[in-house]
Amino acid sequence: MRDGAAVANDSTTTVAEPARRRGAIGSGHRRLIAPAGFLVTLAVTFLGLLAITFFIGRIVPIDPVLAVVGDRAPAAVYERVRVEMGLDRPLTTQFVSYVGDVLTGNFGTSVSTGRPVLEDLARVFPATLEMATLGIVIGVLLGVPLGVIAASRRGSWLDQAIRVVGLLGYSVPAFWLGLVGLAVFYARLNWVGGPGRVEIFLDGIVQPVTGLLLIDSIIAGDWEVFGNAVWHLILPASCLGFFSLAYIARMTRSFMLDQLSQEYVTTARVKGVPERLVIWRHAFRPIRVPLITVIGLSYAGLLEGSVMIETIFSWPGIGNYLTVALLNADMSAVLGSTLVVGAVFIGINKISDVLYRVLDPRAR
């Protein structure tokens, strides 16, 4: 009997061993395929973004040659510059050349500043990043609790007040909110700084390292510049934070209402679990995953949608740079700015997808 059992065990081991090997090989293949698929998706998306920006630049009724030579230049000069810019070549050849230039970091030269567009973007983008980051922090820290409170007290006056705040965030124009903020909190009350990133007499004192003035002033140990930068940053970041707050609070309320109607929440309440734990431990945990996507989209929206706020506050960011480029028909700067904003939007979405998988094992 022992010999028969040994033979059976050996047979089972012999049969199971290839299955385990195949499972290990399949698991290894999946680990390789997942990053490869992610990179392919990212590359295709970025190529699509390149195509969109390129063809939009060719469709818009702006002549980049005139932006360089002026409308009074002789025909010979116009034609020479047109050839130098490669606009006489077929459209497909121009697109291939455009993709090659972008991949090597050549976004062209800005007509407005006379510097390479990439150099300009490296200078202005940190200002937008700084303002949008503080704006999303304000939006998350206020929007998520307000959404949870509104859902947990559905139908109350507090719920109605929070919904009105959300409605205002969707309805109030950015330029109006910025102008009213400047008129009240800067001109009237002098609680915050006015237009610009710092006062004129402090501009250029701190040597840029990261481009983020708050961090650079801390590195330099210049607390006067740091305090002045915060004083100027509060109002524009609060305006952006108000818009993100409205969106985040509304989506949080919607997610929480769905969870609070689930049976497991009712069961927890019947068992006598304190309401605070029911809301934050049982109902809030499942909504963290969709909230990541909401916050990511809101953050990307602040980075790309801060044009009006930057214009009103004379903020030296990518939105203000893009506005000046459009007014000057500077297509190299316009396309470069659009491409950077689109790339940031893609990157934030991909980061949100990764966090989604980290927080929710079912999505892996």
pLDDT at 7: 46
pLDDT at 144: 92
Q: What CA–CA distance (Å, rounded) separates 332 from 64?
A: 8
**Do residues 294 and 348 make contact, with C-beta atoms less than 8 angstroms apart?**
no
Taking the alpha carbons at both ends of the chain, their separation in whole angstroms is: 47
**Do residues 185 and 192 make contact, with C-beta atoms less than 8 angstroms apart?**
yes
Instruction: Find the length of the chain.
Output: 364
Domains of the chain: 117-363 (1.10.3720.10)
From the CA atom positions of the chain, what is the Rg in Å? 28
**Do residues 324 and 120 make contact, with C-beta atoms less than 8 angstroms apart?**
no
CA distances from 16 to 12, 56, 207 (A): 6, 59, 65
Alpha helices in 104-173 (DSSP H): 117-152, 157-171
Cα dihedral sign for 326, 329, 332, 335?
positive
The segments of the chain whose pLDDT lies below 70 read: 1-38, 61, 67, 305, 360-364
Tell me the per-residue pLDDT of 60-74, one tens digit each, with 9 for 90 and over.
767 777 767 777 777
Structure-derived torsion over alpha carbons of residues 121, 123, 128, 133, reported in degrees to the nearest 10: 110
pLDDT at 230: 92
pTM passes above 0.95: no
